[in-house]
Amino acid sequence: MKFGEHLTSRIYPPWLECYLQYTDLKLEMKRRQLDHTWNQTDESEFSKKLEAELIKVHQFIEKGLGDLSQRCLQSEAIIYQLMQDPLAKESYDIEADKLTEVLFDCNDLAKFLQINATGFQKLIKKHDRYTLMRLDPAFRNQIFSQWSLDRLSLQFDVLVVKISELHDTCQLHGNTRQPVTAVDQTAFERATAKYWVHPDNITEVKSIILFHLPVHVYNRTKDYHESDMAVSSVYFDNESLDLYTARLEPIRLRWYGDNQEDIYVERKTHKAAWLEGKSVKDRFRIKQELVNDYLAARYTADHLVQDMRIKANGKPRSQEVLDQNHFVASGIQSSVKDKALKPMCRVFYNRTAFQLPGDQRLRISLDANLTFIREKNQTGEDWRRKDVGIDYPFQQVAEQDILRFPYAILETKLQTHLGQESPAWLTALLDSHLVYEVPRFSKYIHGAAMLFKDKVPVEPYWIQDFDKDIRRKPMANIGLSRSQSFRPLVNGRHRHSLLQMYEREMEAKKIPKTKSLVDLFTVTGSFRKKLNQEKKNLGSLKKIEPKTFFANERTFISWLQFCALLMTVALNLLNHGDMISRGIGATFILIGAILCLYALFRYQIRSYQLRTHRNMMRYDDIWGPTILCILLVTALIVNFYLRFNTLNTSYKEPAK
């Protein structure tokens, strides 16, 4: 499918005028060249129209983000008030539903941004090909810097994090989630799986995960900013790319956000001899000013352990932790020296991580804006380039030194040695059309293969997958959608229905009180509050406010009032009308009786669902009013038809 057709098929009708007018601009490029070759006048006018379209799209997205942020702030204020009232638990569900609506609108706006950003890229390529004149690089950099869609995309991540925090608070009814107690780990033994996520699906995948695991924020003492998502890593290798070839011991230096003071020195070891052939990631933290001394072996593992004891401030450090840090630091330092390792490739991405606070058993990360940058041959004390920060898309870097990856990377990490298994909701996501599995994918392997093509002996197998579209036909009941009444659906279910599904799952498993957190972990995060209540009363039902039952009764009475009015009209027709009127009256009585029974049936079903929390049918009624309208209109049309001949006859009677 051509992009123009693809864009047309993805247009959201209410936003029609706000999309990039891709087809119109493409046709104009062709029309202008019917009687002359493309000239500077054409180029100037096209550039103005292109900039106008970019400004229009940018301002629409900016306004949409502002509206969504304002709705989040309103919910946050209400939730804060609810937290002061411990008896207002039922109101949290109302705010959770509002936040779900915000999340769905955020997903719609993110898709709008993505398809327009793709449209601008393709339009510029077509311009260069059709006109044989390259769009002025200075002009291009200026408008896409001033009206940057990439910067706007980062604001979506900040918004998703805010929604996650508020949604998690609603699920816990205002209580604080207690972090799981964990030891100071320097080694993580994990089973990992990696998937590519097309840009069209990134926000949708994040939203699905958010309903089950909260977004992990490293520092909750300050507001979350765009820079907090940034992760930068410098990978080491030698001129022969021995680590690339062996693929057994990648070594990297990593830092988070714009904080370049704390550097994590990490080593991933596949088939570790000290773990009976299992894979493990080791790391320790070091200050930025000590990195060069560490790489030159002027700062050793002994110095590291000594500093750790000093910084403990009198608190006893576990000898096991000190020994582990010493083991990791000395091992990495030996590898750097023995293998003549040096900085080769920088990997940058914006990471959204999902996990329970303090619990490493299940961790999911989604890395977007993945970028590979060639590290210059560093000399002296410079172990990394100083001209590269976290300002994606790094327009200042020469094109031959940079590679921007087209997909996001979804990575699942399970600590299987602790008994962790993949929960059912995660399995459904990973088997869906939203992700594309790439076994053994490595960021460094890919970056080195692309940036050092003349040195790598063999390219990774996944390179060939770039020639095909990884998107697949959408699967039923997977992802975000809306019902006929435009209510948000997650995997084909309403938010409350998801909760009930996990309730039934837990009851079926008959989880006893003595089960450990590892066994309970596969249950969704929105149900963890219920699990705590399970210790007191398994399967206890949530209290429903009386006003909910009154609303059901009012709906029933409204239907009865209409039926009473209809039957009053019918009785008048029966008592004072001719044969045709009596027939119509009898029909209205029949319709009224059926409606009374139907309203009673719906009233009883709703009451039963509210009492038992079982979702047998929808609470709102789509078909009842529709069928009623059709029956009434049909009765009126039949009445008019039968009366038409009578009226005709009366007009034709001769005057006496």
Dump the DSSP string for 371-434: EEEEPP---TT--S-SS--S-TT-TTS-GGGEEE-SSEEEEEEE-GGGT----HHHHHHHTSTT
Q: Can you name the residues that pair with 237 across neighbouring β-strands?
A: 342
pTM for this prediction: 0.68
The dihedral region occupied by 492, where left means phi > 0, alpha psi between -120 and 50, and beta the remainder, is left
Whether 480 is in a domain gets the answer no
pLDDT at 517: 32
Cis amide leading into 393 (omega within 30): yes
Average pLDDT over residues 622-628: 78
Residue 85 in this model has a pLDDT that exceeds 90: no
CA angle 369, 219, 283 (to 5 degrees): 70
Buried b (16+ CB within 10 A) or exposed e, 62-87: eebbeebbebbeebbebbeebeeeee
Contact between residue 446 and residue 398 where contact means Cβ atoms under 8 Å apart: no
Rounded to the nearest 10°, the torsion over CA 494, 497, 501, 504 is: 180
Residue 62 in this model has a pLDDT that exceeds 90: yes
Whether 481 is in a domain gets the answer no
Residue 369 in this model has a pLDDT that exceeds 70: yes
In angstroms, the CA 484 to CA 482 distance is 7
pLDDT at 292: 87
pLDDT at 568: 86
Closest CA relative to residue 234, chosen from 263, 210, 206: 263
pLDDT at 410: 94
**Does residue 22 sit in the same domain as residue 167?**
yes
Residue of 283 and 481 predicted with greater confidence? 283
Supply the range of the domain harboring residue 128.
3-177
Closest CA relative to residue 404, chosen from 372, 368, 446: 372
Contact between residue 255 and residue 232 where contact means Cβ atoms under 8 Å apart: yes
pLDDT at 64: 93
Residue 94, both tokens: 């109302």
Burial of 351 (0-12, 13-18, 19+ CB in 10 A): buried
Contact between residue 350 and residue 368 where contact means Cβ atoms under 8 Å apart: yes
**Range in 67-71, 230-234, 502-506, 640-644 the model is least confident about:** 502-506
**Range in 94-108, 541-555, 597-611 the model is least confident about:** 541-555
pLDDT at 169: 83
CA angle 547, 550, 552 (to 5 degrees): 115
**Does residue 143 sit in the same domain as residue 229?**
no
**Does residue 137 sit in the same domain as residue 194?**
no
Average pLDDT over residues 403-411: 92
The dihedral region occupied by 60, where left means phi > 0, alpha psi between -120 and 50, and beta the remainder, is alpha
Cα of first residue to Cα of last residue in the chain, in angstroms, is 76
pLDDT at 409: 94
Whether 487 is in a domain gets the answer no
Residue 539 in this model has a pLDDT that exceeds 70: no
- Which domain-ending residue is among 479, 513, 534? 534
CATH of the domain at 423: 3.20.100.30
**Range in 313-317, 404-408, 558-562, 596-600 the model is least confident about:** 313-317
- To the nearest whole percent, how much of the chain has pLDDT over 70? 78
**Range in 316-320, 461-465, 529-533, 559-563 the model is least confident about:** 529-533
pLDDT at 522: 37
Whether 499 is in a domain gets the answer yes
Of 131-135, 214-218, 348-352, the range with the highest mean pLDDT is 348-352
**Does residue 158 sit in the same domain as residue 14?**
yes
pLDDT category of residue 418 using cuts at 50, 70 and 90: low
Closest CA relative to residue 376, chosen from 337, 343, 399: 343
Domains: count for the chain? 4
Contact between residue 355 and residue 362 where contact means Cβ atoms under 8 Å apart: yes
Residue 91 in this model has a pLDDT that exceeds 50: yes
| DSSP alpha helix (H) spans, 186-270 | 202-210, 242-246
pLDDT at 486: 62
pLDDT at 549: 74
The values of phi and psi at residue 288, to 5°, are -60, -40
**Does residue 228 sit in the same domain as residue 283?**
yes
- Which domain-ending residue is among 467, 482, 504? 467
Q: Can you name the residues that pair with 577 across neighbouring β-strands?
A: none
Average pLDDT over residues 338-366: 87
**Does residue 208 sit in the same domain as residue 354?**
yes
Contact between residue 51 and residue 143 where contact means Cβ atoms under 8 Å apart: yes
Residue 110 in this model has a pLDDT that exceeds 80: yes
Average pLDDT over residues 156-160: 86
Residue 324 in this model has a pLDDT that exceeds 80: yes
**Does residue 341 sit in the same domain as residue 460?**
yes
pLDDT at 88: 67
For residue 18, give the DSSP letter: G
Whether 482 is in a domain gets the answer no
pLDDT category of residue 411 using cuts at 50, 70 and 90: very high
What is the set of active-site residues?
A: 443
The crossing angle, in degrees rounded to 10, of helices 3-10 and 22-31 is 150
**Does residue 566 sit in the same domain as residue 450?**
no
Model confidence pLDDT, tens digit, residues 501-533: 544 444 554 434 333 333 333 333 333 344 344
Residue of 511 and 72 predicted with greater confidence? 72
**Range in 284-298, 490-504, 616-630 the model is least confident about:** 490-504
pLDDT at 525: 38
**Range in 66-70, 246-250, 270-274, 446-450 the model is least confident about:** 270-274
pLDDT at 84: 81
Length of the chain as a residue count: 656
**Does residue 522 sit in the same domain as residue 440?**
no
Average pLDDT of the chain, as a whole number: 79
**Does residue 455 sit in the same domain as residue 529?**
no
**Does residue 201 sit in the same domain as residue 305?**
yes
**Range in 28-42, 54-68, 276-290 the model is least confident about:** 276-290
Which residue's structure tokens are 């940057």?
Answer: 148
Contact between residue 112 and residue 153 where contact means Cβ atoms under 8 Å apart: no
pLDDT at 405: 92
- Which domain-ending residue is among 177, 198, 224? 177
Residue of 583 and 251 predicted with greater confidence? 251
Of 20-34, 368-382, 561-575, 621-635, the range with the highest mean pLDDT is 20-34
Residue of 51 and 591 predicted with greater confidence? 51
pLDDT at 654: 54
Residue 34 in this model has a pLDDT that exceeds 90: no
**Does residue 146 sit in the same domain as residue 286?**
no
- Residue 176's CB is within 10 A of a number of other CB atoms, namely 9
Model confidence pLDDT, tens digit, residues 566-622: 888 888 877 877 777 788 788 888 888 888 888 888 888 877 777 666 666 666 677
Whether 505 is in a domain gets the answer yes
Average pLDDT over residues 533-557: 59
Whether 477 is in a domain gets the answer no
Whether 540 is in a domain gets the answer no
Closest CA relative to residue 529, chosen from 175, 57, 25, 281: 175
